[in-house]
Amino acid sequence: MHEGTEDDDEEDEMADARGLRIEFEGHPTLLKWHRLRRRMADPLFSAEVMAEGFRAGASMELDLRVRADGGFVVLHDKELEGETSGHGIIAEKSLSDLRDLRMKEGNRPLLTSEDLAAMLQSAHPNALLQFDMKDDYGVIGEKGIAHLAEHLQQISASVIVSGASLELILAVKEKLPHLRRGIDPTDKLDDICRAGDWNAAEKELLADLRGPTEPETIYLNWQMLLDAAKADLDMIALCHSEGKRVDAWTFTLKDPDSGFTDAEWGNFSALMALKPDQVTTDEAPATERAWLKRMAS
Q: Yes or no: say if 117 and 54 are a contact pair by the CB < 8 Å rule.
A: no
For residues 275 and 25, what is the distance between their CA atoms, to the nearest angstrom? 9
| Annotated domain spans of the chain | 19-296
CATH ID of 19-296, from 3.40.50.1370, 3.40.350.10, 3.20.20.190, 3.40.50.1820: 3.20.20.190
Rounded mean pLDDT, 147-166: 86
In this prediction, residue 1 has a pLDDT band, given cuts at 50, 70 and 90, of very low
Rounded mean pLDDT, 41-60: 94
Q: What is the pTM of this model?
A: 0.93
For residues 184 and 162, what is the distance between their CA atoms, to the nearest angstrom? 7
Q: What pLDDT is stored for residue 11 in this prediction? A: 56
Give pLDDT tens digits for 6-21.
Answer: 555 555 556 577 999 9
Cα–Cα distances in Å, from 56 out to 21, 59, 100, 173, 263?
A: 12, 9, 31, 29, 31
Q: What is the mean pLDDT of the chain?
A: 93
For residues 278 and 31, what is the distance between their CA atoms, to the nearest angstrom? 6
Give pLDDT tens digits for 66-113.
Answer: 999 999 999 999 999 999 999 999 999 999 999 999 999 989 999 999
Residues comprising the chain, all counted: 297
Q: What are phi and psi of 86, to 5 degrees?
A: -95, 180
